[in-house]
């Protein structure tokens, strides 16, 4: 395998996921109004629609209305007709050749063509002669067959339109599984005609009609994305029991949960009526979702109600089910049979792994690489989600560093390792709304998509970050609002007043993830997600750019004026914000943060002065600044100041005289931080090896 990536200018091509093989040549293929696509080989309606969408996107990205004419500019050769539905493990490979005179895309399947189109679209850029694509030869295929995104639409409602734009962005980075987490304690989100009280009483009116479900499934399949529905059971079922309390392990009545956490509502596994209900419901849902895989959740079952019920305990004794685990295994076994009857293969979280589980059941691992490897070693298909929890808002570099085949999976023999099908990032929506979800998924999801698609050697975080920024901007053309909505949220907070300082402050900040927002666990679903933290991004592009610049000091002094401008802006932030924030309750919590940024800016200015004048700082100065920066980095208003990181590097770049002993120690420690760039404290690996009822430590 050869991976040559780069462009004539030396910057890496903004491709993500990076293809298996990229050979860049000389010259460009111009895109003008005569750009057109011809299809040879197999050509069916699905492929023709894909071509239409593709040309519309070329037009959208360039602003050039395409009138066609030179139909042969882009030749697409697809060897096989499209399938009715994308299959797990289907051939997604493609070859793309771009010459100055025209381009050619070859693939066996329509899905391969779709993947190739996205690569081509990522390559379009304005060049010396107008919009063009570099001359290039690309060969590409995915590393893993299962490359997914879980979207929780229960904790916060996510309307169809938002789902669809995220499907477009998923397809753009070659993801192929949309895991739709459709029910949980806070909402049952699909219309059920068999059991209408599920959506009528369990959703606050926020549910997808069956027509909408079909629409989304069709939308996804046109983009080469499978839709795997999840109906979480037997726990996480409060919303079901509001309308059907008789299915519960205690009499009820039940109400939709308004909080976040793990709740006692749990289906009664001892009751035949539970299984006839599930048979009818699964039958109804199986007909809506063509995918052969059907997710039953199975996570985090609180067994208190089982233990307290005399009838359930009697049932357990009668069936020799010694523990709650056994009881859940019995339940899973029954559900698995129902799924089989309706032509479905079961998928479940780690907790469903138990002796006697049907061998084709796929395990999705949230507990970690050990349980992933265990599932694979026991003969099950396995998907890694541990480490890819988007709701923790970790930087892309951390997510990128996690590989489904790392850790214990390395010790698996080849057939066992082959059962690790891939991974899924999880967008749990406790602290995410329809407005903010795009910015919590993108662009970080693109880095994970590269992990799932590209060869494992493609692991250099610097290269990833260099490409992530252009890819993030490009993703806007797919329709996702990860950059647009946060700006709007800030303007809303400013209420029409000038908001420059507020935008600067947001650009210098990073929102805390789920662990940092625990104070909102109660009354949670009714608290609007319209604060500064909701507008702040998980990761600051600006801070990262500054870090890169500062790391080039003192050799590259050309950047000093720009650094000074930014530090001065920061130093002014508090003053700037005051006028915007006056009499505005929503911004009150942001003022101390602005004061902190101003302090960071002042430290930066002082450091720059030393650097510019090449004047050593007095003994103890650097250590004192580092200590101050540590304090300024402590979260305020549920965000962390990313601005601290480049300024810390700046302080370390200040020339020093023979340093006092205490300085030495401190600076050595800090320099280590700066080099490894460990900017967040990683949360403890959660749930590793623990029972089903205890959740991650932050819950």
**Residue 173 in contact with ligand TNX, rule: CB under 6 A:** no
Binding to ligand TNX in span 454-493, by CB under 6 A: none
Length of the chain: 699
CB of 698 to ligand TNX, least distance (A): 8
Nearest distance from C-beta of residue 180 to ligand TNX, angstroms: 14
Q: Which of residues 610-639 bind ligand TNX (CB under 6 A)?
A: none
Residue 583 CB neighbour total at 10 angstroms: 7
**The tokens of 357 are what?**
């589980």
Min separation Cβ 697 and ligand TNX, Å: 11
Between 95 and 430, CB nearer to ligand TNX = 430
Shortest Cβ 300–ligand TNX spacing (Å): 6
In the stretch 384-413, what mask flags binding to ligand TNX with x, by CB under 6 A? -----x-x----------------------
- Count of CB atoms within 10 A of residue 259's CB? 15
Nearest to 181, CA basis, from 376, 424, 522 = 424
Contact residues for 684 (Cβ-Cβ < 8 A; gap 6+): 697
C-alpha 546/C-alpha 558 separation (Å) is 13
Nearer to ligand TNX, 152 or 510 (CB): 152
365 or 454, CB closer to ligand TNX?
A: 365
| Binding status of residue 222 toward ligand TNX by CB under 6 A | no
Number of residues forming the site for ligand TNX (CB under 6 A)? 11
Over the window 341 to 360, marking each residue x when it contacts ligand TNX by CB under 6 A and - when it does not, the resulting string is --------x-----------
Q: Looking up tokens 């880095």, which residue turns up?
A: 447
- For residues 30-59, which are near ligand TNX according to CB under 6 A? none
H helices of 378-483, in order, are 396-400, 414-418, 437-441, 444-453, 461-475
Q: Which ranges of 247-405 would DSSP assign to H, the alpha helix?
A: 272-288, 304-308, 310-318, 324-341, 369-377, 396-400
For 235, which DSSP code? S
Strand pairing report for 639-641 and 509-511? antiparallel
Give the residue with the Cβ less far from ligand TNX, 5 or 428: 428
Does 263 interact with ligand TNX (rule: CB under 6 A)?
A: no
- As measured in angstroms, the least distance from the Cβ of 430 to ligand TNX is 6
Is 300 one of the catalytic residues? yes
Q: Is residue 428 a contact residue for ligand TNX (CB under 6 A)?
A: yes
CA distance 186 to 151: 14
- Binding to ligand TNX (CB under 6 A) within 308-337 occurs at none
Closest CA to 136 of 258, 272, 263, 24: 24
The span from the CA of 242 to the CA of 257, in Å, is 10
Q: Distance (Å, rounded) from C-alpha 164 to C-alpha 470? A: 22
Of 168 and 257, which CB lies nearer to ligand TNX in the complex structure? Answer: 257
Given the residues 300, 435, 510, 547, the one annotated as active site: 300
Nearer to ligand TNX, 152 or 438 (CB): 152
Binding pattern to ligand TNX, positions 279-308, x when CB under 6 A? --------------------xx--------
What is the sign of the dihedral through the CA atoms of 670, 675, 680 and 685?
negative
Collapsing DSSP states into helix, strand and coil, what is residue 149?
strand
Residue entry with tokens 């995410």: 432
Min dist. Cβ of residue 303 to ligand TNX (A) = 16
Rank residues 180 and 428 by Cβ distance to ligand TNX and give the closer one: 428
> Which residue from 119, 111, 175 is spatially nearest to 147, judged by alpha carbons?
175
Which is nearer to ligand TNX, 138 or 432 (by Cβ)? 432
Identify which of 294, 482, 515 has the alpha carbon closest to the alpha carbon of residue 389. Answer: 515
DSSP secondary structure letter of residue 35? E
Query: Is 366 an interacting residue with respect to ligand TNX (CB under 6 A)?
Result: yes
Q: How far is the CB of 507 from ligand TNX (least distance, A)?
A: 26
Tokens of residue 541, six digits: 């592009």
Compare residues 74 and 389 and give the one whose CB is closer to ligand TNX: 389
Closest CB 349 distance from ligand TNX, rounded Å: 5
**Closest among 572, 679, 567, 666 to 621, alpha carbons compared:** 666
How is residue 531 annotated by DSSP?
S
CB of 389 to ligand TNX, least distance (A): 5
Distance between CA atoms of residues 329 and 351, nearest Å: 9
Which CB atom, from 62 or from 186, has the smaller least distance to ligand TNX?
A: 186
Matching residue, tokens 């810390």: 648
Fill in the per-residue mask, 501 to 520: x = in contact with ligand TNX (CB under 6 A), - = not in contact. Answer: -------------x------
Give the residues across from 181 on adjacent strands.
Answer: 152, 230
Mark 668-697 with x for binding to ligand TNX (rule: CB under 6 A) and - for no binding. ---------------------------xx-
CB of 94 to ligand TNX, least distance (A): 34
Residues labelled as active-site residues: 300
Binding site for ligand TNX (CB under 6 A): 299-300, 349, 366, 389, 391, 428, 430, 514, 695-696
């Amino acid at each position: 395998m050869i991976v040559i990536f780069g462009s004539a200018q030396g910057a890496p091509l903004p491709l993500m996921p990076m293809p298996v093989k990229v050979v860049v040549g000389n010259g460009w293929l111009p895109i003008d109004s005569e750009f057109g696509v011809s299809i040879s080989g197999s050509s069916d309606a699905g492929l023709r629609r894909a071509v239409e969408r593709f040309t519309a996107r070329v037009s959208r990205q360039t602003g050039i209305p395409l009138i066609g004419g030179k139909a042969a500019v882009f030749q697409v050769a697809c060897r096989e007709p499209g399938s009715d539905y994308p299959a797990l493990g289907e051939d997604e490979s493609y070859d793309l050749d771009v010459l100055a005179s025209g381009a050619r895309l070859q693939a066996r399947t329509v899905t391969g063509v779709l993947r190739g189109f996205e690569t081509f679209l990522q390559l379009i850029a304005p060049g010396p002669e107008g919009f063009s694509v570099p001359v290039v030869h690309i060969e590409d295929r995915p590393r893993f067959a299962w490359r997914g995104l879980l979207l929780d639409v229960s904790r916060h409602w996510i309307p169809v339109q938002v789902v669809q734009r995220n499907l477009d962005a998923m397809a753009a980075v070659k993801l192929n599984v949309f895991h739709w987490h459709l029910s949980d304690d806070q909402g049952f989100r699909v219309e059920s005609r068999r059991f209408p009280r599920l959506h009528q009483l369990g959703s606050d009116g926020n549910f997808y009609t069956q027509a909408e479900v079909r629409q989304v499934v069709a939308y996804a399949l046109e983009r080469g994305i499978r839709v795997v529905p999840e109906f979480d059971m037997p726990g996480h079922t409060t919303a079901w029991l509001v309308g059907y309390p008789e299915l519960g392990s205690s009499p009820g009545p039940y109400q939709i949960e308004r909080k976040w956490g793990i709740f006692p509502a749990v289906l009664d596994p001892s009751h035949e009526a539970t299984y006839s209900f599930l048979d009818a419901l699964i039958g109804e849902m199986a007909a809506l979702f063509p995918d052969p895989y059907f997710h039953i959740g199975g996570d985090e079952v609180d067994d208190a109600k089982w233990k307290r019920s005399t009838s359930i305990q009697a049932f357990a004794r009668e069936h020799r089910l010694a523990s709650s685990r056994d009881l859940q295994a019995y339940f899973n076994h029954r559900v698995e049979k129902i799924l089989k009857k309706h032509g479905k293969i079961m998928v479940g979280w780690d907790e469903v792994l138990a002796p006697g589980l049907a061998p084709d059941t796929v395990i999705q691992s949230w507990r970690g690489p050990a349980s992933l490897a265990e599932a694979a070693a026991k003969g099950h298909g396995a998907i890694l989600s541990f480490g890819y929890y988007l709701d923790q808002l970790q930087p892309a570099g951390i997510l990128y560093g996690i590989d489904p085949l790392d850790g214990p999976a390395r010790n698996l023999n080849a057939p066992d390792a082959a059962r690790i099908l891939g991974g899924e990032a999880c967008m749990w929506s406790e602290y995410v709304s329809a407005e903010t979800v795009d910015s919590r998924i993108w662009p970080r999801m693109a880095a994970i998509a590269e992990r799932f698609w590209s060869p494992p050697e493609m692991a250099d975080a610097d290269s990833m970050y260099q490409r992530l920024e252009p890819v993030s901007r490009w993703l806007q053309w797919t329709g996702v609002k990860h950059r647009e909505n946060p700006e709007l949220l800030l303007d809303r907070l400013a209420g029409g007043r000038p908001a420059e300082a507020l935008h600067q402050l947001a650009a210098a900040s990073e929102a805390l993830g789920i662990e940092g927002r625990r104070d909102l666990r109660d009354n949670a679903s009714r608290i609007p997600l319209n604060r500064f933290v909701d507008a702040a991004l998980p990761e600051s592009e600006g801070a990262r750019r500054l870090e890169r610049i500062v790391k080039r000091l003192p050799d590259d002094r050309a950047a000093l004026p720009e650094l000074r401008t930014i530090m001065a802006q920061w130093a002014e932030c508090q003053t700037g914000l005051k006028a915007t924030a006056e009499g505005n309750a929503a911004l009150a919590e942001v003022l101390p943060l602005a004061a902190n940024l101003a302090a960071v800016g002042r430290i930066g200015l002082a450091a720059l002065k030393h650097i510019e004048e090449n004047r050593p700082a007095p003994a103890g100065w650097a250590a004192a600044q580092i200590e101050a920066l540590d304090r300024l980095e402590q979260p305020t208003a549920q965000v962390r100041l990313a601005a601290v990181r480049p300024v810390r590097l700046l302080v370390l770049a200040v020339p020093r005289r023979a340093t006092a002993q205490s300085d030495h120690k401190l600076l050595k420690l800090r320099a280590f931080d700066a080099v490894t760039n460990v900017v967040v404290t990683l949360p403890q690996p959660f749930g590793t090896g623990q029972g089903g009822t205890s959740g991650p430590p932050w819950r």
